[in-house]
A and B are shown apart, each in its own frame.
Chain A
Amino acid sequence: MTVQFKPAETFRDTFTYKKSPEDILRFPFPFPEDEYMYSVNIEPHVKGGATPAFQAVFDIDEHYVGECRERERVLKEDPKRCQVLPHMMAAQWDTLELIMESLAADYPAHFTLSKAGDVWTWVNRPLGLHQTFTFGKPETLPCTPFEYITRQVQGDFTLQDQREDNLFVDGGMVTTQADWSLEFNIGMSFHEWHGPVPGVAHDRGVFDRALKYLLRLQYGQPVRRLNWTMTINPRLDTSPENYPVWGPDRTTVTADNVAEKVHLRVELQTLFRLPRSNAILFGIRCYLTSVSDIARVPKWRRRLHRVLRDLHPDLAEYKGMTRYRPLVVAHLAALDDGAPTSRGIAPDTDRLDG
Chain B
Amino acid sequence: MTGTIPVRVREITALAPTLKRFAFEPAHGGAFPTAPAGGHVMLTLRDGARVMKNAYSLVSPPGARGRYEIIVRKVAQSRGGSAFLHAHVAAGDVLEMAPPVSLFPLAATARKHVLIAGGIGITPMLSFLAELQARGARFELHHLSSPEEVPVFERLLAPYAVDADIRVHGGGRAAFDLAGLLSRQPLGSHVYTCGPHSLMDAVGTTALALGWPRGSVHKESFGAAAGGLPFKAVLTRSGMEVMVGENQTLLEAIEAAGVAARCLCRGGACGECVTRVEEGEVDHRDDFLSDAEKAAGALIMPCVSRARGPRLVLDL
Contacts and interface: CB of A to CB of B under 8 A. Distances in A.
Interface residue range, chain A: 35 or more
B316 interface: no
A163 to B, nearest CB: 6
A40 interface: yes
Contact of B270 (A39, A89, A97): A39
A164 B134 CA distance: 25
Interface string A37-71: 00111111000000000000000000000000000
A275 B287 contact: no
Interface in B23-78: 33-37, 39, 62-63
Interface string A8-46: 000000000000000000000000000000011111100
A42 B101 contact: no
A40 B35 contact: no
Interface residues of B, number: 32
A289 B99 CA distance: 39
Interface string A68-101: 0000000000000000000111110010010000
B266 A218 contact: no
Given A39-B270, A219-B102, A89 B36 contact: no
Given A135-B63, A220-B33, A42 B264 contact: yes
Contacts of B267: 42, 213, 216
A135 B99 CA distance: 23
Interface centre among A90, A276, A279 (most CB of B within 10 A): A276
A279 B271 CA distance: 26
Nearest to B130: A276
Interface stretch (B105-113, B144-152, B228-236): B105-113
Contact of B62 (A41, A43, A276): A276
A218 B108 contact: no
Interface in B78-112: 99-102, 105-109
A163 B109 contact: yes
Contacts of A277: 37, 105-106, 108
Given A97-B34, A275-B33, A276-B131, A219 B39 contact: yes
Contacts of B288: 209
A156 interface: no
A293 interface: no
A40 B265 contact: yes
Contacts of A43: 264-266
Contacts of A220: 2, 33, 99-100
Contacts of A351: none
B215 interface: yes
Contact of A42 (B2, B131, B215, B265): B265
Nearest to A89: B135
10 contacts: A39-B270, A40-B270, A40-B271, A90-B135, A163-B109, A164-B215, A213-B268, A218-B101, A275-B37, A278-B105
Q: Which 4 A-B pairs have the closest CB atoms?
A: A278-B105, A213-B269, A275-B36, A164-B215
Given A40-B271, A87-B109, A209-B287, 8 more contacts: A43-B266, A90-B106, A90-B135, A213-B287, A219-B101, A273-B102, A275-B100, A277-B106
